[in-house]
Amino acid sequence: MGVSKEDVEGILTSAMKPTHLQVVDTSGGCGASFEIEIVSEQFEGKKLLERHRMVNAALAEQMKEIHALSIKKAVTPSKWNPIPKVQEE
Amino acid sequence: CSATQDAELKSTIDKVVNSEKVVLFMKGNKDFPQCGFSNTVVQILKSLNVPFQTFDILENNVLRQGLKEYSSWPTFPQLYIDGEFFGGCDITLEAYQNGDLQECLEKAMCS
């Protein structure tokens, strides 16, 4: 039994209370590879390594089946500034 | 018994991560990475011109499982600087882009 994008979203939503969460299934449907962007107050005062550990810990059970988990962003809401598109003059 | 084996494995890993300033546990080796994530870290380290030692975890399943517990990190590659776990591919890439990795490596090389 694989892990679905919805499983990952559900677990992270309840564990991390994110203000922004984007989970992308990069496995082509088999559910073994995901990319994650997560913004949460719980990352406040935590170093990058600790923030990643929190995400890994929340998904500990699923990590047994997930082959590749790429955490693209794990930041606090105050650090969350999606880069604005540069306007051509 | 398994507790003794665990302690032995931990002390072996201690020795290995302290054997060089920069140690990378990866899939494949620095000349033939077997996975894109491992390759990314190898390319970053090569571009920074730091000496580093790699170990192929695909060839040693005991080491592979032991390292996951040692660092409480579920995936590979795993980068160690100055005997300390630094992170996996995403952390290394982000730290490289914001300059933290260079700073950390410089500190390690001077220590």
Domain count, chain A: 1
- Tokens 């398994």, residue located: B2
Q: Nearest CA to B79 among B61, B99, B59, B50?
A: B50
CB A8 within 8 A of CB A36: yes
β-pair partners for B23: B53, B80
pLDDT value of position B102: 96
Structural domain span for residue A12? 5-75
CA distance B51 to chain A (A): 23
Distance CA B44, CA B62 (A): 27
The verdict on residue A82 lying in a domain is: no
| pLDDT tens digits, B79-94 | 999 999 999 999 999 9
Q: What's the alpha-carbon Rg for chain B, to the nearest Å?
A: 14
Residue of A nearest to B78 (CA): A49
- Tokens 């005062």, residue located: A45
CB A20 within 8 A of CB A38: yes
CA distance B74 to chain A (A): 7
Mutate to test the interface with B, among A35, A37, A53 (most CBs of B within 10 A): A53
Model ipTM? 0.80
pTM: 0.85
pLDDT value of position A88: 57
The verdict on residue A80 lying in a domain is: no
The verdict on residue A81 lying in a domain is: no
Ranges of residues in chain A whose predicted pLDDT is under 70: 1, 29-31, 82-89
The verdict on residue A87 lying in a domain is: no
Q: Nearest CA to B87 among B78, B98, B74, B75?
A: B78
Indicate which CATH number applies to the domain containing A11: 3.30.300.90
Which tokens go with A28? 């082509």
The verdict on residue A48 lying in a domain is: yes
